Amino acid sequence: MTMIKSLILGSAAGLVALSGAQAADLPVKAKAVEYVRICSLYGAGFFYIPGTDTCIKLGGYVRVDTTFNGTTYGGPAWNGDQGQGNRYRDYFTSRSRMALTVDTRTATEYGVVRTFGQGDFQFDNFGNGTKNPSVLTAAGVNSSLLSGAGGGYVAVEMVFIQFAGFTFGKSASAYATPWNGYPGNNNSFLMGGPDYVTGVNNIQYTAQFGNGVSATIGLDDPQVFNRTSLYNLGLGVNVNGLGTNAYAGVHAPDIAGNIRVDQAWGLFQISGVLHNVNASYNNLSAGGVSNNLSEISGHPEDKWGGAVTAALQIKNLPTGAGDDFKIDATYAKGNTKAVISTSGGSPSFAMFGNTGLAGGYQSVGFGATSDGVYLPGAAGTGGIILTSAWGIRGAFNHNWDPYWSTSLWGSYAQVKYDGGANDNLTAVGTTSAKGAYCAAFAATHPGQTGVAGAGTYSCNPDFNVAQIGVVTRWTPVKNLTFSAEVGAFFLDQKMSGSSVFTASAPKPTALYEFKDQSTVFLNVRAQRNF
């Protein structure tokens, strides 16, 4: 009995010891996980950065574009090899892009502090529409950037900080319309008004007055987005009608501002910008390069130009839910980028086509885009003469149903140079912008009326451009859209007659008729937003 009792007690003690050992091996209870919390203060998609009171939203899109008879993003064939229609041009160009956006916001006693940035990772056809060796190997061109299968590049769009009504960084100018250059079009090349869609370095302040009324004033860096060319006509005009750009460094920021009314019926905005036009030197070498006589040659005095734009959007149209109409009109003096504008630089035009002229090789149309011109010397222009321009653009946007929509868009713009073609021959002392330009044009295009005999053509560098197009979009599921856009571009140039001259290679020296030109393009796109 004693033995049995001892065994039972020993077994019980062993079990207690074993259970104690097992209890010692159990894991300690973990701390509560700090799960990501939704931030509902600033709309859908925001969440709190763990451990902070800052909300963040990640987004972007993937977009694939192909343009037929044009450059990327629906650029018309209006200059270069595309405008010539020669064998170096690409019949189609493509671009694939992934855009990533980061938006952070923090509530403070001064209001919301916001940062925003967008980077574009993209790949497109190297040369953007041409395979001309002279273009692909030009100075400053990285020929290995896009030519490899794994090539590509990163582009920076908006990068800014907002605090207490101020904006610092790369953002849309205060002068821009709310839709920039996109009242309804897909393509990035609709003329007629300003386009700051990829931002410009600036500092601006916005005041809210209530009831949808606001005003913004800012200082912009004009170097990339608000300069075309300033021609020193003492260096002549080339075979494509272009002068040599003689802009100096940036001496003053653009001064931009707007007043905006935003209501349920739509919005109205009037905006303006002041732009400094300043030349480098009177005496320059070919290509506008300075030489040892440049500094002592002097320079024309700076001039201030500018532009004004009125923009109107009308919503709640009786044609359907979500339909709207957008339109803006612009006048510019010495600020042609406000009218002949794209999401990048301002184009000049050199387009070739057919001719019915006896003995003629082809027809050609030129359009030289500039902010101003000057011709040094006693018989020159007496300083910078600013170029005038105006334009109008707009779109009607219609939703057929939740899946299909169509936009009809168009624009018209004019560029004008002061004076008459023969002012340089008749004026006493100084000449006009047009007179100085036409004298330089005659040196590379013989046969101008009034310059050498009776002549075979009359000179006028003024030009008009018009565009019209339609885009239809299909959205089978939310945030996935397929679209197709057809557009036409028309160049109404003001030269008349013909000239035998040496055009840009590979064109020959031949008889060319000065004639209006046109082109069409087709762009197809797939885009997934996230």
d(C-alpha 273, C-alpha 29), whole Å: 65
Per-residue pLDDT, averaged over 231-239, amounts to 97
Per-residue pLDDT, averaged over 22-50, amounts to 74
Is there a contact between 107 and 162 (Cβ–Cβ < 8 Å)?
no
30 pLDDT exceeds 60? no
Per-residue pLDDT, averaged over 396-411, amounts to 98
Q: Dmax over Cα atoms in the chain, in whole Å?
A: 145
Q: Is the peptide bond prior to 300 cis by the omega test (within 30 degrees of 0)?
A: no
What integer pLDDT is reported at residue 11 of this predicted model? Answer: 45
139 pLDDT exceeds 70? no
Report which of 268, 186, 194, 243 is spatially closest to residue 439, judged by C-alpha positions.
Answer: 243
d(C-alpha 198, C-alpha 186), whole Å: 15
What integer pLDDT is reported at residue 8 of this predicted model? Answer: 40
Helix, strand or coil, per DSSP, at residue 294: helix
Assigned token pair, 79: 């200059």
What integer pLDDT is reported at residue 29 of this predicted model? Answer: 58
Helix, strand or coil, per DSSP, at residue 142: coil
Q: How many Å separate Cα 504 from the centre of its chain?
A: 27
CATH number belonging to the domain at 165-529, selected among 2.40.160, 3.40.1350, 1.10.3470, 2.130.10? 2.40.160
Q: Show Cβ contacts of residue 384 under 8 Å, excluding neighbours closer than 6 positions.
A: 230, 277, 279, 300, 301, 302, 303, 334, 372, 373, 374
What integer pLDDT is reported at residue 126 of this predicted model? Answer: 66
Q: Where are the domains of the chain?
A: 165-529
Predicted TM-score of the model (pTM): 0.90
- Using a pLDDT cut of 70, give the percent of the chain over it: 89
Per-residue pLDDT, averaged over 340-357, amounts to 95
Helix, strand or coil, per DSSP, at residue 199: coil
Q: Mean pLDDT check: name the lowest of 57-66, 405-414, 451-460.
A: 451-460
Mean of per-residue pLDDT scores for the chain:
91
What integer pLDDT is reported at residue 225 of this predicted model? Answer: 84
Assigned token pair, 393: 């653009």
Is there a contact between 485 and 522 (Cβ–Cβ < 8 Å)?
yes
Q: Show Cβ contacts of residue 46 under 8 Å, excluding neighbours closer than 6 positions.
A: 38, 39, 40, 55, 56, 57, 103, 105
d(C-alpha 242, C-alpha 226), whole Å: 19
What integer pLDDT is reported at residue 107 of this predicted model? Answer: 95
Band of pLDDT at residue 123, cut at 50, 70 and 90: confident
469 pLDDT exceeds 80? yes
* Separation of first and last alpha carbons in the chain: 81
Residue-wise DSSP of 359-415: T--EEEEEE---SEEE--STTS-SS-EEPEEEEEEEEEEEESSSSEEEEEEEEEEEE
d(C-alpha 202, C-alpha 160), whole Å: 9
Per-residue pLDDT, averaged over 369-393, amounts to 97
d(C-alpha 206, C-alpha 217), whole Å: 7
Per-residue pLDDT, averaged over 326-353, amounts to 96
d(C-alpha 500, C-alpha 456), whole Å: 9
Q: How many Å separate Cα 116 from the centre of its chain?
A: 19
pLDDT digits (tens, 9 = 90+) for 56-98: 999 999 999 999 999 999 999 999 999 999 999 999 999 999 9
Assigned token pair, 51: 């451990």
What integer pLDDT is reported at residue 339 of this predicted model? Answer: 98
d(C-alpha 341, C-alpha 72), whole Å: 16
Q: Which residue has the tokens 């931030």?
A: 39
d(C-alpha 189, C-alpha 185), whole Å: 9
pLDDT digits (tens, 9 = 90+) for 259-302: 999 999 999 999 999 999 999 999 999 999 999 999 999 999 99
Is there a contact between 57 and 73 (Cβ–Cβ < 8 Å)?
no
416 pLDDT exceeds 70? yes
